[in-house]
Amino acid sequence: MKPFSVAILALTLALTACHGGELTKIPSEKMKPGADFYFDLPELGMSSRLASKNERKPVQMRVILPTNYRADKPHPVIVHEGGGQGWIDEIAGWKDCLNGLNFILFSVDYSDELKFRDQDFKHALYGLDVIDRSTAIDRGAVFVSGISSGSYGVTAFYRGKEANAFSGFIIMIGGDLMTGPPGYVDPAPVPKGRPVLQVAGEKDLDKASNGVERVVAQQRLHEVLLKNGVDAEFIMQPGAGHEWKADSYPAIRDWIYRKLPGVEMARMNLYSRLADKTALDWRKKWYYQRLAESWLETPTSAKARQVAK
């Protein structure tokens, strides 16, 4: 069983039992290079985002595929948790930010039946399971990002057993330590070897619920991450408020490029070693060799190898 499938097995079984016992899968005709579409997930309830617009419709996920998408190629993935009521259209910002990297991008609505902080990361994991059933993904290169309220889902991820589903965490204009008392230290550090990127607005001066300015709370979170030995980096957006600005895209891309080589090359080496160990089983050998070789054909790998030199 795949690593993150274990983390959401109970959720998946409960939802599919209510949905006729069928595992949700995106139809292949939708999964085309450059595709950008919405897909209904009625098993997750009614959409909080659409309810805020007085529309009573099921939870949706928005999926964006790279222009070099191939169903048989294991693509890296970014799972995004939206701000506010779960603004899944923020995922389009990642398409502009990545500028050619071959990531599969998706975001899932929150349900209007629960408070977002009680359920958003479960929806993201469920969406990841749907994507995994629908196409080939590289489970060693799955990053999770969040903006504002969605960033609380990201910090919830790295605290729990679900953290093992992700290669890295991207926290934008939010996250924990906005509600904790001054001097609070996170008792559950990020799992070893998984990097964290924070993106903050210099003018994000509204007070969090603990009375601390948001930008100050994010800086405090960064200090805690470093104290816990986390590979954490911080991008301050000059002049920005509570927003994700395009000016930060190059620095974020640079972080992705720098963090991908280790993930990517480790996966390639793993697949190659597995191919060597399964020499007597030609089917498995071919499969692992194909996974390893597929990375050599992508712009992501070409850039990663260049940076790594």
DSSP secondary structure of 75-86 = EEEEEEE-STTT
- Domain spans, the chain: 3-258, 264-308
Q: Are strands 60-64 and 104-108 parallel, antiparallel or unpaired?
A: antiparallel
pLDDT beyond 90 at 132 = yes
Q: What mean pLDDT is predicted for residues 233-243?
A: 94
The confidence score (pLDDT) of residue 193 equals: 75
**N residues, the chain:** 309
> What does the pLDDT look like over 184-212, one tens digit per residue?
555 556 666 789 999 999 999 887 766 77
- For 138, the token pair is 């590289």
pLDDT beyond 80 at 128 = yes
- For 130, the token pair is 């749907």
The confidence score (pLDDT) of residue 37 equals: 95
For the chain, report the end-to-end CA distance as a whole number of angstroms.
35
Between the ranges 35-39, 47-51, 87-91, 302-306, where is the mean pLDDT highest? 35-39
User: How many CB atoms are located within 10 Å of the residue 71 CB?
Assistant: 13
Q: What mean pLDDT is predicted for residues 128-151?
A: 89
The confidence score (pLDDT) of residue 295 equals: 47
pLDDT beyond 60 at 42 = yes
Burial of 54 (0-12, 13-18, 19+ CB in 10 A): exposed
- DSSP letters, 49-72, are HHHTTT---B-EEEEE--TT--TT
Q: What mean pLDDT is predicted for residues 6-18?
A: 47
pLDDT beyond 70 at 73 = yes
The confidence score (pLDDT) of residue 53 equals: 66
SS3 assignment, position 11: helix
pLDDT beyond 60 at 133 = yes
The confidence score (pLDDT) of residue 106 equals: 94
The confidence score (pLDDT) of residue 38 equals: 93
Give the rounded percent of residues in the chain with a pLDDT score beyond 70. Answer: 63
Higher pLDDT, 112 or 259: 259
pTM of the model: 0.76
Phi, psi of 118, rounded to the nearest 5 degrees: -95, -10
- Superfamily of domain 3-258 in CATH is Alpha/Beta hydrolase fold, catalytic domain (3.40.50.1820)
Phi, psi of 77, rounded to the nearest 5 degrees: -135, 145
User: How many CB atoms are located within 10 Å of the residue 308 CB?
Assistant: 13
